[in-house]
Amino acid sequence: MAVKILWYLTTPDGPYPWEPEGRWKTDFEHLKQLAVASDRLGYYGSLLGSSPNESLAVSAALIDATRRLRFLVAQHPGELSPAVLAKWALTFDQFSNGRLLFNVVNGNDAGLATLGVHYPHDERYDFSLEYWRAFQNFYAGDTSGHDGQYVKLAPRSPAAASHPLGGWHPPKQKPGIPLWGAGTSGPGIAHSVQLLDVYLSFANTPPKLGEKFRKVAAEAAKIGRELTFGTRLQIIVRETEEEAWAHAEKLLQSTSLQTARTAIERQLPPGETLDSFRSDDPQIQRNVDAVRAGRLPKARDLEIYPNVWLGPSLFGFNILGPAAGTYLVGSAEQVAERIREYEAQGTSAFILSGFPLIDEAHRVADLLFPLLDLDHGFDVPRLRADTPAPQRANVVERA
């Protein structure tokens, strides 16, 4: 079993961009450099992360700068008509030779309301399922329209659909654009197993993540579907373990105590405060006590499993438990071993990031790629002159 390695593509960047003094001023040229680097280094794709920029516009603007890199674009249902999104996707795939992936994001009630989508938590999954079904049909060339509970689109004339002025491109990806996404609640899992091709989750320890994926796979099997699984991780990989943990300690010491306090408060259960919170996990409690006493834990105090670290990141400082900011830290051999352990637990796609993004993308490609069996669909280049010929990846039509 081989794995796919994706990188992160976003505007916030710098040596430690979760602190103002560690964040660079970046622009489109910086994004372009990052996309070109990820493409040339052989990454399967890039997740377009949260930023002030609209991901649909950014990904389209980067088509011509890249050759193989797939763009995993986050999209909320309801931001656009599913017909408009389908035509956009057909155009993107026509120009990029089929390099589009969608990250299905269902968001939260307040966030969706700002986009004009007003459904309670459980019902928004019903809306999302119907929205993406309509999108899939339109992308595949269906002209019969859609008359559902939430989506109502009139049919298109089959003659007009193939007219040189009013027609749409045929689909490049069959049976359709791969849909990636997540969902942890009961309705979220039910939605995921019906719709998604790749089920995503924030990282945990390999056994706990594997347990979660097996539960989702069992639900998918009940309706005759099989999913693949992916996770999101920060990464610090170096030639030696000592170098990796020294860098982790440097990032930790560059982080303010206030950032740590704010992160903990954001993760607290309702009604709890930093002073009142007590954890049943002695390691978590020790780290909370350290912050409460006005000091940060040491880097190794935040290691919850071999090479799995809850350090500070742009995506959170998850002292209370694994979430968006979870890291892999270690030598290339150690990190490769841990990835293989995740793989044995069912994970086949890894969306990685480290900061600065271009620097760390090079490190991962240089040190880690040669140790992994990669399923990118093309020959993955080797950076060092004394390495063997490029690895032949398994060629696949879709994610």
CATH of the domain at 56: 3.20.20.30
Under DSSP, the state recorded for 366 is I
Cα angle: 234, vertex 236, 241; to 5 degrees: 145
On whether the CB atoms of residues 298 and 246 are closer than 8 A, the answer is: no
SS3 3: strand
How big is the chain by its Cα radius of gyration, in Å?
Answer: 22
Give the pLDDT of residue 397: 40
The answer to whether position 297 is within a domain reads: no
Q: 56 forms bridges with which residues in the sheet?
A: none
State the residue for tokens 């796609």: 349
Q: How far, in Å, are 36, 104, 125, 180, 266 from residue 183 at the CA level?
A: 31, 10, 10, 11, 20
The answer to whether position 283 is within a domain reads: no
Nearest CA-CA partner of 395 in 368, 372, 377, 374: 377
Token couple for 102: 């969608």
Q: How far, in Å, are 89, 168, 387 from residue 173 at the CA level?
A: 10, 14, 34
The answer to whether position 143 is within a domain reads: yes
The answer to whether position 386 is within a domain reads: no
The answer to whether position 238 is within a domain reads: yes
The answer to whether position 270 is within a domain reads: no
Query: How many domains does the chain contain in total?
Result: 1
Count CB neighbours of 184 within 10 A.
12
Q: At what angle do helices 332-344 and 206-222 cross, to 10 degrees?
A: 30
Count CB neighbours of 94 within 10 A.
14
pLDDT (tens digit, 9 = 90+) per residue, 167-185?
889 999 999 999 999 999 9
The answer to whether position 156 is within a domain reads: yes
State the residue for tokens 């430690």: 16
The residue-averaged pLDDT of 275-301 equals: 96
pLDDT (tens digit, 9 = 90+) per residue, 186-224?
999 999 999 999 999 999 999 999 999 999 999 999 999
Q: Give the C-alpha separation, 56 to 23, whole Å.
A: 24
Q: Give the C-alpha separation, 309 to 325, whole Å.
A: 9
The more confidently predicted of residues 159 and 125 is: 125
Q: 339 forms bridges with which residues in the sheet?
A: none
pLDDT (tens digit, 9 = 90+) per residue, 325-363?
999 999 999 999 999 999 999 999 999 999 999 999 999
Q: What is the domain extent for residue 318?
A: 4-242+306-371
Residue % of the chain over a pLDDT of 70: 96
On whether the CB atoms of residues 131 and 139 are closer than 8 A, the answer is: no
231: confidence class by pLDDT, cuts 50, 70, 90: very high
On whether the CB atoms of residues 307 and 335 are closer than 8 A, the answer is: yes
* Strands 308-309 and 327-331, sheet pairing: antiparallel
